[in-house]
């Protein structure tokens, strides 16, 4: 059990919570669940999960507030679960630090697929890695540590979410190609994504803000392309 991926589900609907726990355990995950925000935050500290499934509508807390709090203090992927279908809510969740957003009802197989997708890059959350042998210049101040899944500014690490890093790498590896939002969703999310195309825009905005350099160019009416250094590794 110690080597299993740990998942914490904070979900107030008992039927959904039970299904998540049962299905994820069958897939080999180590799962803990809570019905309230307070119990969930206590479990978060003790359990230290690899990924957090967080319901937006909790009886004692606002899921968006918890998302912001968690993403500001710990480095774990967050998947929001909600019955809301409003685009504004989806964008807000991503801007507050969520890595993905799923609306109810959902297929449990899709939940599992998305958990595995965000955890493929979980090494980005670790400060270790072989930085010395893998540095590649992105600009005058920025360096890419491809083996360590990290970006550095003047030697200091920049905190990128897994999907932000994957999107950055996709564009950087194809400097002469313009990617549509649909293509980015397909290649970065690694599955048919039924969310809104604004997901891509939100992630690009967050990358630009964190890097503080215009390495990603908007191609109006189409999508995005890389405008930094060409690929050299």
Q: What is the pLDDT of residue 3?
A: 67
Return the minimum-mean-pLDDT range out of 35-44, 126-135, 166-175, 177-186.
126-135
> What's the CATH fold of domain 6-119?
Rossmann fold (3.40.50)
- Using an 8 Å Cβ cutoff, are 1 and 90 in contact? no
| 229 pLDDT more than 50 | yes
- Chain region(s) in the chain for CATH 3.40.50.2300: 6-119
- Chain region(s) in the chain for CATH 1.10.10.10: 124-226
pLDDT tens, 176-219? 899 999 889 888 876 555 556 788 999 999 999 999 888 999 99
> What's the CATH fold of domain 124-226?
Arc Repressor Mutant, subunit A (1.10.10)
| 69 pLDDT more than 60 | yes
Q: What is the mean pLDDT of the chain?
A: 83
Pairing of strands 150-153, 142-145: antiparallel
Helices within 10-62 (DSSP H only): 14-26, 37-47
CA 212, CA 167: separation in Å to the nearest integer? 16
Distances (CA, A) of 1 to 29, 34, 122, 201, 233: 8, 20, 19, 39, 38
Confidence class for position 13, pLDDT limits 50, 70, 90: very high
| 103 pLDDT more than 80 | yes
Mean pLDDT of the 81-91 span: 74
Q: What is the pLDDT of residue 67?
A: 92
Helices within the chain (DSSP H only): 14-26, 37-47, 63-73, 87-95, 108-119, 162-172, 181-188, 198-211
């Amino acid at each position: 059990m110690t080597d299993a991926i740990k998942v914490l589900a904070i979900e107030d609907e008992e039927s959904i919570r039970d299904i998540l726990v049962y299905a994820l355990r069958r897939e080999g995950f180590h799962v803990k669940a809570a019905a309230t925000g307070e119990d969930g935050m206590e479990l978060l500290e003790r359990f230290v999960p690899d990924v957090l499934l967080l319901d937006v509508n909790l009886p004692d807390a606002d899921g968006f507030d918890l998302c912001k709090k968690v993403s500001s203090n710990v480095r774990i992927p967050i998947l929001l679960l909600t019955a809301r279908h409003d685009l504004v809510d989806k964008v807000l969740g991503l801007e507050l630090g969520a890595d993905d957003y799923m609306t109810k009802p959902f297929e449990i197989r899709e939940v599992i697929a998305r958990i595995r997708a965000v955890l493929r890059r979980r090494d980005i959350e670790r400060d270790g890695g072989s930085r010395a042998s893998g540095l590649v210049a992105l600009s005058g101040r920025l360096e890419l540590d491809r083996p360590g899944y990290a970006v550095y500014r003047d030697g200091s690490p920049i905190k990128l979410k897994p999907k932000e890093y994957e999107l950055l790498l996709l564009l950087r590896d194809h400097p002469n190609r313009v990617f549509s939002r649909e293509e980015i969703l397909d290649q970065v999310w690694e599955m048919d994504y039924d969310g809104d195309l604004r997901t891509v825009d939100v992630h690009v905005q967050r990358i630009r803000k964190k890097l503080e350099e215009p390495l990603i160019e908007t191609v109006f009416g189409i999508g995005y392309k890389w405008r930094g250094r060409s690929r050299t590794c």
